[in-house]
Amino acid sequence: MSHLPILPILLPFFAGIAIALGGRRHPARARLLGEIAVLAGFAVALMLVIRADQGGQQVYALGNWPAPFGIVLILDRLSALMVVLTSVLALGAVCYARGRSPQRLTSFHTLFQFQLMGLNGAFLTGDLFNLFVFFEVLLIASYGLLVIEGGAQRVRAGLHYVLVNLAGSSLFLIALGIVYGTAGTLNLADLIHKVPLLPADRQPLIAAAGLLLLVVFGLKAALAPLYLWLPATYAAAPAPVAALFAVMTKVGAYALLRVHAVLFAPGSLPYGGLVQYWLLAAALVSLILGSVGVLASPTLPRLVAYLVVVSLGTMMVSVAIGSPEAVAASLYYMVHSTLVTAALFLLADLVASQRGPRGDQLEPGERVHQPTVIGGLFLLLATSVAGLPPFSGFFGKLMIIQASAPSSLAALAWTLILASSLVVVVALSRAGSRLFWKTTDATRPAVPAAPILLLPVLALASASALLVLFGGAAQQFAAAAAEQLLDRSAYVQGVLGELAEERP
Amino acid sequence: MEIVLSIAIGVLVATGVYLLLRARLFPVVLGLTLLSYAVNVFLFVSGRVTGGSAPLLKELPPPYTDPLPQALVLTAIVIGFGMTAFLLVLALRALGELGNDHVDGVEPELPEAAAGGQHAERQRR
């Protein structure tokens, strides 16, 4: 058994502990260790993708206890994709943090590593309770990262964020209790195998647990009406942290895909379609409310935070439809939107640092010191996130719209997706013209941003271009990942092996 | 036994939710603690209530009790404990930074208390 699948969890774990222990005495070395760990994590993630792309589930049994008795890590295309996406964002965030040197450097890098551990663990685990544990790991690290730099604004946002998520965790545990009490297992593959075989009087209980899990994952993914914690939190977070947070909502989306698109797939259970119905409704409402929020945002980070809500809504329309093409489209769109919103969070910080007292407010103010570079990046990212050609957002939205054509609610979904795109275009062009055109001369001497601050924004933005240039390969990978995700019997067979056949 | 446990869980959840909605930091922390107690008992019960039997197979004659929920509860207790500790620290920090114990960080203007509140505010200044 290869030990590769556990490396994305162990690497940040040990790096985080080492930084915490030695960071006070050698802060510079601790920072270097954090950066090396992120770089190594990226290399491991690439190896995982290559391994996963050979097909089939790679099962890593912790402590060599076979599933479903022990906890297993499962590497397939989707989890490898999520791990590599996380590590790309982590690279960008750490690179930006080197240029900006956040306060409390050691704590930042320690918590950053633990956050990566939680994210990677949540993406790799094949057990629902283990998913809960990794959720808590990534949440407690994110609570720390959010308030690490202090300030009333951050503490206020952090308080809401923590309270809402703690209430969500309680619901998660209640749902897990119901699932275990009814099905007698929490291994995802075992659940997929066993739940359809349960007697009819147990099915409503499982459906109730599925709806509770929808609330929990919808809260993490910031679906309407549970997105209210997101804009204040993401807008208040320090820029490198906000960039990494761009993937946190995708943990919820990932869990929705794993649990709801597979375990509660329409047609597989008596109440299977119920969850999809609510998911689609929540996604459409998120599109509307997110677009209103984008229009009404007074600052650039808050606008980007609402863009996260809109992109999640767009993606979830596709997830709710649940066909292989739709899920593939949602995966492509998720990668695009995560990269672009992370780049926008970093860019918002760059803009704020160059505009004098107005900062990140969307009001006429001083001219930025590097209008060509920063304005150009803003134009590129705004075009991409709004879904205009020729960038990745356009192809992502096109794929989602094509995949949603057979759905009975296609007309409504199309209208809302296209209308929200229009609203985003309007809001972003208004923001851009206020930030870059309605300007007064700078009162302070021009201080161009260090190249190390521009590099991650440029790299994340060029990832959007790469998604178009290598669009065929990306689309193929997304389609293969979606097909593998939705193939229930292959998943059960791959994880449980012969055990699935032996039992009734 | 099941009846007693389910009533206990119900009361804990009800009081927890009530305190959670008080929107003051200390009651909210207490509410979340009560809610997590309820959740822990619920998880424990999810393995069925069997009194006086060991969670060991083969050593003793049946009935057995299910050991897995006990392990889950232990994990949940540890996590809940850590989260409560963090929340208390954050609550103290919020009290220090924002100067009040409302979860929104600002005192709401209640209609009947507005006059008195403004008076108190003026006195404080």
Average the pLDDT over each of A248-257, A273-282, B73-82 and give the range with the smallest value.
Answer: A273-282
CB pairs under 8 A between A and B: 84
Tell whether the model's pLDDT for residue A504 goes beyond 50: no
CA dist., res. B60 & res. A328, Å (int): 52
Whether chain A has a CB inside 8 Å of the CB on B117: the answer is: no
With 80 as the cut, is the pLDDT of residue B103 above it?
yes
**Interchain pair A163, B28: CB under 8 A:** yes
In this prediction, residue A161 has a pLDDT band, given cuts at 50, 70 and 90, of very high
A253 compared with A448, residue with greater pLDDT: A253
* Predicted local distance difference test score (pLDDT) of residue B125: 46
Beta bridge partners of A58: A75
Q: Cβ of B91 and A159 within 8 Å?
A: yes
B90–A162 CB contact, under 8 Å: yes
Name the pTM for this structure.
0.92
Q: Do B94 and A143 touch (CB under 8 A)?
A: no
Domain residue limits at B101: 2-55+63-124
Predicted local confidence at residue B41, as pLDDT: 93
User: What is the percent of chain B with per-residue pLDDT over 90, rounded to a whole number?
Assistant: 46
Task: Look at residue B118 and tell me whether its pLDDT is greater than 70.
Answer: no
As a whole number of angstroms, the distance between CA A135 and CA A247 comes to 13
Closest Cα to residue A252, out of A368, A132, A339, A336? Answer: A132
- Residue A67, min C-alpha distance to chain B (Å): 14
- Partner-chain contact B46 A147, CB within 8 Å: no
CATH of the domain at B111: 1.10.287.3510
Chain A residues near residue B34 by CB distance under 8 angstroms: none
Using the predicted structure, report yes or no on whether residue A1 has a pLDDT greater than 70: no
- Minimum-distance CB partner of A158 among B68, B90, B104: B90
Per the CB < 8 Å rule, is A181 touching B48?
A: yes
Judged by CB atoms closer than 8 Å, whether chains meet at A133 and B35 is answered as: no
Across A168-285, the runs of DSSP E, i.e. the strands, are none
Name the most confidently modeled range: A224-228, A334-338, A495-499: A334-338
pLDDT digits (tens, 9 = 90+) for A393-437: 899 999 999 998 888 888 889 999 999 999 999 999 999 998 888
Which residues neighbour A242 within 8 Å (Cβ) at sequence distance 6 or greater? A234, A235, A301, A304, A305, A342, A345
Using a pLDDT cut of 90, give the percent of chain A over it: 61
Question: What is the tens place of the pLDDT at every residue in A37-87?
Answer: 999 999 999 999 999 988 788 889 888 888 778 899 999 999 999 999 999
- State residue B60's pLDDT score: 67
On chain A, the residues whose CB falls within 8 A of the CB of B12 are none
Report d(CA A412, CA A283) in Å as an integer. 12
Residue A366 φ then ψ, to 5°: -70, 155
Buried b (16+ CB within 10 A) or exposed e, B59-90: eeeeeebbebbeebbebbeebbeebbebbeeb
Least confident interval from A95-104, B32-41, B56-65: B56-65
Chain centroid to CA B4: how far? 20
The per-residue pLDDT for range A107-125, each reduced to its tens digit, is: 999 999 999 999 999 999 9
Q: What pLDDT score does A225 carry? A: 87
Residues of A with CB below 8 A from B83's CB?
Answer: 136, 140, 166, 169
Give how far B33 is from chain A: nearest CA, Å. Answer: 10
Whole-number pLDDT of residue B111: 65
Is residue A246 scored above 70 in pLDDT?
A: yes
Q: Cβ–Cβ of A174/B42 closer than 8 Å?
A: yes
Q: How many domains does chain B have?
A: 1
What is the pLDDT, as a whole number, of residue A105? Answer: 84
Per-residue pLDDT for B45 more than 70? Answer: yes
CB contact A197 to B (< 8 Å): no
**Burial track A131-165 (b if 16+ CB lie within 10 A, e otherwise):** bbbbbbbbbbbbbbbbbbeeeeebbbbbbbbbbbb
Helix or strand or coil: residue A438?
coil
Confidence of residue B59 (pLDDT cuts 50, 70, 90): low
- Greater confidence (A157 vs B1) lies with A157
